[in-house]
């Protein structure tokens, strides 16, 4: 199985954003990915991408090839232009309260 590290399009019409994924070369562009390795948002001017460099290196050691855009982003990341890693506190959360769990009394 040949693996390629490439972009998978997400986002709305006329508002593209991309996931950087490791995928089988025979899979469609937006098909199933083996692993998500980062993201890229061309709409932002600075800090518009994040890559998991250690995982990309691991896939390259296994023989994965980089697409042109990912190769360019990797060079920028090595120069220090990458966004900060996402933190768990910045993930969207639901406004709905958690349901109370009743414990059985003995």
Encode pLDDT of 7-50 as tens digits.
999 989 999 999 999 999 898 888 888 999 999 999 988 888 89
Q: What is the pLDDT of residue 80?
A: 81
3-state secondary structure of 96: coil
CATH number at residue 45: 3.30.1320.10
Give the total number of structural domains in the chain.
1
Residue 70 is assigned to a structural domain of this protein? yes
Question: 36 lies in which domain range?
Answer: 3-84
In a domain, 102, yes or no: no
pTM of the model: 0.74
**Structure confidence by residue, pLDDT tens digits, 69-100:** 999 999 998 888 777 776 655 444 434 443 44
Which residues have CB under 8 Å from 73's CB, separation 6+?
A: 20, 38, 40, 49, 51
Of the candidates 57, 48, 41, the residue with the CA atom closest to the CA atom of residue 7: 41
The pLDDT of residue 56 is: 92
In a domain, 100, yes or no: no
């Amino acid at each position: 199985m040949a693996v390629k590290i490439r972009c998978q399009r997400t986002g709305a019409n006329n508002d593209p954003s991309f996931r950087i994924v490791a995928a089988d070369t025979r899979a469609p562009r937006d098909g199933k990915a083996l692993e998500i390795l980062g993201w890229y948002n061309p709409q932002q001017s600075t800090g518009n991408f994040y890559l998991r460099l250690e995982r990309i290196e691991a896939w390259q050691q296994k023989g994965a090839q980089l697409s042109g855009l990912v190769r360019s982003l990797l060079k920028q990341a090595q120069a220090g232009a990458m966004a900060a890693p996402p933190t768990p506190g910045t993930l969207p959360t639901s406004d709905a309260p958690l349901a109370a769990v009743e414990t059985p009394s003995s």
